[in-house]
Chain A
Amino acid sequence: MILRSGLALKQTDPMADIYTPQALSNALFHCLPLILLSFALTVAAVLMSVRIKEKPFQDVETVRDLLCKKIKEPSPLIEKERRVQRTLHVVGWCCFGLCMVPVLIYLCIPSHFAAADAKGLSQTIFTLLCHILPWTLISIGALSVCLILRDKSILRETEAAREIIKSSDRQKIQDETALKNKVQTSENRKTGKGVMILRLGILLTAVVLIVMGIMNGSAQDVLNKAVVICTECIGLG
């Protein structure tokens, strides 16, 4: 509303400001009841120790993992569901990747970023959004669908695992679990060393880059940019 009336005024008088303190105060005044209500509700909720109980997330994977740990030999139904899950996992990520390809192609064409003046820039960014937004939404949608279908498959696998456990020999299940835990401990030691080496490598790289940055002036660039108000960065302009 303020923008529309401001732009109309600017047509007749280029010197006129679109936003004035009075216009903003009026707009804020209209929103004030809602802001005060939210604040009052929050304070009341805190004082009355109201806890918003969020439903725990139904993590089907963990339940499946717990059950499948106890099984020595998975049944054909479980194998089939695992294949379905692997396929869905691959398909989901392939869809995501494929949808990102047009985005990458668009980004790599220099002519899409030809305009450098103020009006042209806004047009360029708008066009960029129009091109990449649909593909991004499709990729996330496809990934969501694959994840949901994978959940359903995991639920079926869990049911099948439960059936096996009900009918299986108890002794065999416990021994297998102990064996799997031992294997995990030795694997942990190996990953621990690898992580240490990676950390040291990154630390050395970081220190070298920082020193190089101070020497080549990129540190000074950070300071120079930070001591000037970037008016467009904060929406002024």
Chain B
Amino acid sequence: MKRSKDIKKKRSFKRRLIQLYAALLFNAHLRGFIEGEIYTGKTKIVCTPGLNCYSCPGAVGSCPLGALQNALAASGKRAGFYLFGIMLLYGLIFGRTICGWLCPMGLIQELLHKIPTFKIPKSRVTRALSYLKYVILAVFVIAVPLWYGLWHDLPLPSFCKYICPAGTLEGAVSLISNIKNNGFYGMLGALFTGKAVIMLVIGLMCVFCYRAFCRFLCPLGAIYSLFNRFALIGVKVDKSHCSGCGNCVRHCSMDIRHVGDHECIHCGKCMDFCAQDAISLKAGKITLLPPKSDLADRSLQSGKKRQKIKTCVGAAALALLLFALIWFNFIDPAADHTKAELSNQQSSAVSETVVTGYEPGQYLADFSVITLDQKRFTLSEQKGKVVFINLWGTYCTPCVQELPLFDALYREHREDVEVIAVHSSIITEDISAFLSDKGWTIPFAVDTEDDLVWKTVGGTSSMPQTIVIDPDGKVCFNRHGSVTKELLNTFYQQAKANDADT
């Protein structure tokens, strides 16, 4: 009895350790939390198996759900074969084992559930409610991004934007809690309020109901559940030993009908309650976690061999984690976020009276870009006019939505306003073709490969960004986030007033 309790403790400790390991590996860019910047390296081409927002400062991979929505939104331009292939591969190999062992959101939910309160038991109602995640998958992950992508050419990851608590917690909270990102506060509004409320409600639900988000709302779990029956790794029942007592289903916290069905997250809890020891965690024919009787009866020879394999795998995993931590924090050039700061320091204090930089009150350093209609835009030639510099991208929804406002402002104040919309050096499609049917008159340019404009104006990996220069060449405003018509008019009025004062 005592031995089986020890085995049970060891098993749950192992699973917790693997969950923590996965969370740390997927968020190995720890310096991002200190510097308030996300990782921009090449490893983000790979999706993490679990739900881990790519706007998290520590994330070193992409979120599969966010990437899926973006792939669907871009369906009009190209088919998202890569993403579909990745999801098929993860589903085939792991199925919902990802939910039980590798998902950072799953770990957070289980930790919240540890808070000692009364717990809502599972029932037929919770089982029916578990189908809600398929509706969320169909509507917010597939339909809405697809329709807006096809009919409006507008990238709209609606699940990420309106619902996902991982984005709010890992992305927003992590970024705005850093002092260096005080500029982000201007972007917080009704959307943040709604998402924060959703995050708190889901958090509360997880305290009272085991893995409430995973069971009822997570569309990624819904996708992986389609592969659960034939996934390679998972909890398997040896039917020759199974007596059909149903202890496994009775003690499982998920809404399963039998072990390994679409609701099973392969956590292995049922192994502790199976009196026939018919359940084990397997990868194909290889047993990863044997039933407890096998552990007790194993011969000394096979026990030593198993221990050797475990030690080797553990050492390899630890080495990988250490390598990731060192690489993503110290060696990888993409992890070095000091370059943007350096450009500001280098350009500042050119003379004793004139301080150049991109902060309000400083004079912006001169730059020159070639617009899409092959004209040269030089900042110093715009003296005497209020200049609006907008940093944008075709794949950025709020950027595309606010461009008509800049166009309207430009048309209204043509004689004393100049606007330049600079696209990021990261290009995903033909920008001229994108703009061809829009009818906008503002000049558009693409930033150089070495991000000249981005560095000059203090651009970061967050878009959109608006920089307003008064007629004297001084920066009036440098603001992250989308703007409204009223805000643009206020910028214009204040920039004119600044000039009148000087």
A residues contacting B by CB (< 8 A) are 2-3, 6-7, 14-15, 17-21, 24, 38, 41-42, 45-46, 50, 52, 54-59, 61-63, 65-66, 69, 96, 100, 103, 107, 110, 113, 116-118, 121-122, 125, 128, 132, 136, 140-141, 143-144, 147-148, 151, 181, 184-185, 188, 195, 198-199, 202-203, 205-214, 216-237
Contacts and interface: CB of A to CB of B under 8 A. Distances in A.
Interface in B44-83: 44-45, 47, 53-55, 59, 61-63, 66-67, 70-71, 74, 78-83
B108 interface: no
A14 B428 contact: no
Q: Could you say which interface size class chain B belongs to?
A: 35 or more
B125 interface: yes
Interface of B: 38-42, 44-45, 47, 53-55, 59, 61-63, 66-67, 70-71, 74, 78-86, 88-89, 91-92, 114-116, 119, 121-125, 127-129, 131-132, 135, 139, 143-144, 147-148, 151-152, 154, 156-158, 160-162, 164, 167-168, 171-172, 175-176, 182, 184-196, 207, 210, 227, 229-230, 232, 239-240, 244-246, 249-253, 257, 393, 395-398, 401-402, 404, 424, 426-428, 460-464, 480-482, 484, 486-487, 490, 494
A29 to B, nearest CB: 14
A21 B144 CA distance: 34
A234 B255 CA distance: 30
Contacts of B74: 218, 221
Given A205-B88, A231-B398, A55 B185 contact: no
B96 to A, nearest CB: 15
Nearest to A196: B230
Contacts of B63: 226
A228 B460 CA distance: 8
Contacts of A52: 116, 119
A62 B244 contact: yes
B250 A218 contact: no
B34 to A, nearest CB: 17
Given A3-B189, A218-B71, A229-B175, A100 B135 contact: yes
Contacts of A15: 487, 490, 494
Given A125-B162, A228-B396, A228-B424, A235 B462 contact: no
A159 B1 CA distance: 34
A199 B232 contact: yes
A103 B125 CA distance: 21
B428 A221 contact: yes
A147 B128 contact: yes
A140 B61 CA distance: 35
A206 B121 CA distance: 38
Contact of B148 (A6, A24, A116, A232): A116
A237 B83 contact: no
* Among A96, A113, A184, A188, residue most surrounded by chain B Cβ atoms (within 10 Å): A113
Given A63-B246, A66-B246, A231-B480, A143 B398 contact: no
B187 A237 contact: yes
Contact of A58 (B41, B53, B71, B250): B250
29 contacts: A19-B188, A54-B210, A57-B251, A59-B250, A65-B246, A125-B158, A125-B162, A140-B132, A148-B125, A195-B230, A199-B92, A205-B88, A207-B85, A210-B85, A211-B85, A213-B84, A218-B79, A221-B82, A226-B54, A227-B39, A228-B395, A228-B396, A229-B461, A231-B184, A233-B167, A233-B171, A235-B167, A235-B196, A236-B191
A3 B189 CA distance: 7
Contact of A216 (B79, B148, B158, B463): B79
A55 B122 CA distance: 9
A203 B89 contact: yes
Contacts of A223: 42, 44-45, 62
Contact of A185 (B128, B239, B257): B239
Contacts of A116: 148, 152, 154, 401
